[in-house]
Structure formats: structure tokens, C-alpha cells
Structure 1
Amino acid sequence: MATTVVAETSWKDKIKNVVVLVEENRSFDTFAGGLTYSSNIDGLVDRRFCNPANVSDPKSVYVCARPIANNVAPDDPNHGISGVNMQVLSTYHPDEAAVDAGYEKENMMGFVTEQGSTYETVNITRAAEVINYYAQDHVRVFAAMAENFVLFDRWFAAVVYITSGTSHGHGRNDDAFNVAALPQRSIFQQLSENGVEWINYQNSTTQPMLNPTTGFNPDSLFYNWTYTSGAWKTNIKPIADFYADAAAGTLPAFTYINPECCSYDSFHPPSPITTGEGFIKGIYEALRASPQWNETLFVLTFDEHGGFGDHVPPPVGVPAGDDLTYTELSPDGKNMTFNFERLGVRVPTLHKGMNNGGEYTHTSIAAFIAELWDLDNLTPRTEWSSTFEHLITDEFRNNTPVTLPNPEPF
């Protein structure tokens, strides 16, 4: 007698579309540290997080984080690598300071010091904005999404690594990003090589023109392949097309969304928090109403902490994407070299699923995509990164919110 074998349904069979929205420049503590719907969130509720005004002065006054962050940040904190060294390690030169017991560990105590130095101010109230955070009522859209889906509170930034697993030795957004000069293989190239359709939707007042005077390019156009292959003409579309494609049920297998940079909906100072929340609300509700919703994985993250404070030290000793290093002149006039073996500061990240656990970084997205569509790992960092398919539930939820709260001025 013949036996019929029914194969177990794989999590891969449930996901036909992946949508990734990357906002800008907010740390986990700043944006999500005030969430109160769960006591398990590793944020700032019931936690005292303080920095000295001057980390090099043993008698310095301390300033503590409060849930009074402004809707529009008055300053854009330093988020260059030497500045992050000061924020995380209280020194611009951790290699030189390693012998000093006070600098051996990432103490996360230099945010206010760096802010005061960057803006040459002794106004502690102004400098303290770098560690202040938002109350839950100030991020109503994000809070509703976090409560209904997965909030990662151990997700660490890696900036350009999010789309290629390496920055190819770049430590800042130099002109190479404006003229499609990054030579490494990206997820966009990888997907095209494997016949997986993708679109990079962008919300910009300028179209990508490969000219530094026209504004910042969408992420897929950082890479030379996107230009030389012609994909920049076929696979980069305005955000209006995203809403139309979502409504029609014609989103590609992989959707990558860039907000504008950097004045109104990206969260990057001086973008208002309320405007950025409105943008997230529109993206989510378009997906929720789409015929593709049942088979869509949605990930919302932030590209980096943007210099804003966080109390959790990022992991060190992780694989770099390659053997390239980056050197820049620190504010003290001395060179600093970075080997990319430390992750960035935590950023708030959401995932359409339930339950949480583990430690993640931006290359977790590329690693997950490699698992989903049976692709190779782009770099050693991608291969090392945790993936999150175990967070995908076996049952479809039909009670997810159709609409999200409206942002309210504060």
C-alpha cells in the first residue's frame, strides 16, 4: 500500500515578501527606553542612567536621563567613530587608554561630555538632551507596534553593514556614497544574481543623480554595481509607488524603504519625532491593508544611534566584514584607527512576529535573507550574525491592528 508523506510546512513557505524600513539616528534608550507596557524591556524606566558633564574631571557634576526629550532635537550629536569612542569608552583613543583600569570597559559615560565638546557649551541642560528620552505617549505609533509585535532590545547598529555586511573601510558618509563608489557586493546585487526581485523605495525631494549636490542617495545606490548594472534606473522608485504597489498587492519579494534625509520624516535631527512617527504609521497601515500582508515579514530599524545615549555596552570582538580599517582625526588632533570589530550602540528594532530573545545586529537582516532564499553569506560578519526565523510563529494572527494611533504634538 502506498504511503503519502506530508511535508512539514517550513517557515520559509510562509514568507513571500520581506519589507525593511530603515529610519535614522536614534538609540534604543532615546526612542524606546521610556516604553512602559512591559517591565521586561531593558530601557530607562525605573533605571538611573547618568553621565558626568566632564568625564575627565573626577569632581564633575553628573546629569541624569529624563523622559523630557524634545520633539525636535536642538542639536545633532556627534556620531563619528572617534565621537562614539568617547561616548562608549570615555576616551577618543581606547587602544592607548587600555592600560588605565578606568577605560578598559565600555562604561557608556561619555555622551554628555562629547555633546558639550561638540557644541562647545557648558550649558548642562542643553548637553543633557543627548541622554534624555521619550515617554511612551510621545512615541505612540512605535509603542503600539512594539506592544503588538517583537521589540528587540539587544539589537546593535552596524550602519552600512545592513546592506552589504561591510562598509569597505568607510567610517563616515563621504563622497563615495553620493557617486555610487562602494565596490563591495550588496544584498541588492546578491538578490538580482539569484533572481529575487527587489525595489528600493525612497522618500526624497531629489531623485538619485549621482551628484553630491543633489542630496543623499538611497541605500542601494551607494554601490557601484547598482549604477553599472542599470538597476538604479529600474529598481529605485519614489515612495508613492510603494503605497500603490502595496495596495495592488504587487510589492516585490524584497522591499527596502529609505525615508528622506534629514529634515522631516527620518528622525535624524532636525526631523520632528511626530512627523517621523506619521511616516511609520503610513508605511505600516499600507502594508496591513495590502493583499500581501499575510505573507509579509516587516522589519523596522534605525541605521545608527546618531550619537544619542544608551546604557547598554555594545559587543566587542566580533568579526569584521573584511580586513580593512578606517582612520580619522579625532577632536584632540590625534589619529584614531578603527578595525570594525565592535558593534555600534543599540537601536530600536521591530519585527512582525511574537516573542523575543537573543542578540542581533543589522547584518542579522542580511543573514536572515540568506537563510530565507538559500543565498550565500556576504561576509564573515553576516555569517556570524544571529537570525530571527525562530521568532516566526506557527499560526497566523488575525488580530493585529489595522490602524495605529495618531502622533500627538508635545
Structure 2
Amino acid sequence: MKKLIVIAGLVLVCLISCKEQPDKTSDKKAQIQYPNIVFILSDDQAWTDYGFMGHEHIETPNIDKLARESRTFTRGYVPTSLCSPSLASIITGVYPRNHMVLANDRVLPGDEKNGKPAWTQSWRAKNYEPVIENFKKLNTLPDFLKEKGYLSFQTGKWWIGNYENGGFDYGMTHGNPNKGGRHGDYGLEIGRKGMDTLYSYIDLALEKKKPFFMWYAPFLPHAPHNPPEALLQKYLPKAPSEYVAKYWAMCEWFDQTCGDLINYIDEKGETENTIFVYVCDNGWVQNENNSTYDPVSKRSPYDLGMRTPIMYKWKGKITPEIDAQNLVSSLDMVPTVLDLIGLERPDDLDGINVLNEAEQNKREAVYGEIYEHDFNTVEESLNYRIVMTNPYKLILPNPENKPNEKVQLFNIYEDPLEENNLAPNNKEVVSELQQILEETWVN
């Protein structure tokens, strides 16, 4: 009898214990913590213009440190060398011909410029409305992240009207053309006039206990080149001209703001729970004798306009490595991040997960396309199509818009500044790459 009482007691205790124990499986699900995601975007900076990329004078200690702590691809590319379409591709993961933000300003037949740039014309905003409306139909990274409860914040450069058009929950850019909205308005103050708004967004997400996506795309080192005086004085003795010194100083000023952002996240104890991704929207080569850029850079099909280091850092999760061989694209940023956080990847993305070795090994090439600054349709505005492989790069001019230009072929591994056109003596390579390009071109 005593044994029966003891057994009954044990069963009762067990039943009570089991009833009081929470469902550990569901509890685990509730405690899943998704990492924050921070996109850092430089604006108008050549791939050569970083300390870790070997520049003799420009100092970028914060970006250099980020490069050492990241899976850093030194042979990254943007699909086009102009800010508006480049940024649209970064946030959507698709080529300009797919999101239809082909360039900065839309000009229709019959539009009168009167000798002035399109962006100053009264009809500019009206022409751009269909571009924005079409973009709003697309899925962006902030749209994808809503499924996991992310808050998304926009700061800096943003061409597509109001920040909400990109799926952001909060942002600095109002996009109202009647109040001077074109490519960032108040958003362009971030970095140049401090970082407080950005910090406030981070604090808001932490207060709400939400993972956040931060778009930090400051108007740096973009012109106007008006760096802090101390930085200018630092570079004046080293540079061939004041114009170059100002640009070099702007690169370091941008680097300082990157350090401020990264340090703030670290101070909040969020470093190990944050994915950092770095890219530049397009290149820039500063002319020595005036404030403009050399045509070999921005808006060109050359590496000084299209190439950029691309970095992925997640402390403890991504093994740091400097990768100087694999070709990657800014189109890879969305699919790579989606895979990192376990979100299903849509089939219509144009990039790959660059941290997946199998996908990297299957990649045959990365591609580019360059349009007129003042665009209308793909057919009317296309200037160049580009294909990059290891080791060759083919530049194919559109005969309709560039009738006097020849096909160009470069060994970008041996000739990174693209000084030796190999096309005349390598017709088989040209033909092979052109065929690859034609097969992948879908419009």
C-alpha cells in the first residue's frame, strides 16, 4: 500500500510539473532574434580611393577596419555607374531594365530644355511620376523584411520620391518636388550635418525591441566638395591641386561618419546582432583643374565608374576574408541578406547569395548597362552593355547612340585601369562574351 501511495504521489507531481512547464518549442520560436541590417553606401568614390585598396594618400581607417572584419570582395560591381539607377538596383536586387529607373532625369520627345539641365525644368517632376509609380509596384528589401517584423529607416540619398515608396517605415526624404525634392532633400543632411536623426531611429527600434534595417547613403564624398577645414589642410600639401585635395578630404570625412555609425551600434551592444553591408553607388575620378569628374569614371562603362568593394560583416557568423578573385555585384546584396536571415528568396532577383560557394562557382559573369543621364525608354537611351568575367571584360556600345565607338575588351585582372584594348586581336573571345551577353539580356 505504501508503495502504491508513493507511486501515485510521483505520478501526481509529474502531471503537475508537466502542466506547469511551458512549451519550450513555442517559447524558442518567440525568442528568435533577427539581426539588424545596415547598408552603408558611399556616393561618387572610385574603387581605388580607400586605404585598404592601396591609395597612397587617402586615409579611411574605419572602412579599412570594416574591410578586415568582413567578407570583403574587392572586385565588386554596380550594374550602372549613375546614382539613381544604381541605388534602385541595390534596394530591389534587379537590373535597371527591370525596375525601369534607367538614369537620373526622364526627358520625353518635345521637352524643351532652353539650354538648361533637365533637373531644373518645371516638367521634370511630372515626367518622373510614372517612374516612381512603377517602382512602387516592386518589392524592395524593406518590403521583404516586414514579414520578420523589421523597422526600416531611410537616410541620405533617395531618388524615388518619398521614403515610403521604398517600403521604409521612417525616413528623412519627403520627395515633394514643390519643396525641392529630387534626390534626397532633407535626407542629404545626414553625415554632413551630424548623425542625430540616424541615432534616433536606432534608439526607436531598440525601444520597440524590433530588428531594424538602416539605409545610410549620405551625400558623401559627393560634390559639393566642402570638407572640414582641418581635413582640407591635411591633404593640400599631398594633392596635385586644391580640387583633388578637397575630394580626398571628402573621402576621409565620409569615413569618419561611418566610424560614428559603427561605434554607436557598438555602444548599444548590438554589434554581434548586426549585419553590415558596404558598397559605393558609382565611381568618381576628380579632375585636377576643375570641380568636375573625368569621363572615364561616373556614367562610363569603365571600372573607375562601375567597380566598388562590397563587404559583408556579421561578427561571429561571417568569416572575415579579403576576396580578390570572385566577381560580385550590388545586385547580390538583397539575396545574400535574405538568405542570412532565413527569408525565402524570390525567383525574380537578378543576383545570388555571394556567401554560398556553390552559387559562386556556378556564376559565369556579372553584367552592366549604361543609359543616357536624361532617359526615356531602354531602346532609346541605352549606351552600353557590359559583361565582366575572370579575366575579361567586354564593353559593347549601342550603335544607335554610340555609332563611332568600337567594341572594347580588357583583361581586368592584369589591366585594372583598362588601358589596353584587346578586342582587335581576340575576336573569338569577343564573340563568345557577346553571345553570353545576348543570351542573358532580357528586356
Structure with greater helix percent: 2
Structure with greater strand percent: 2
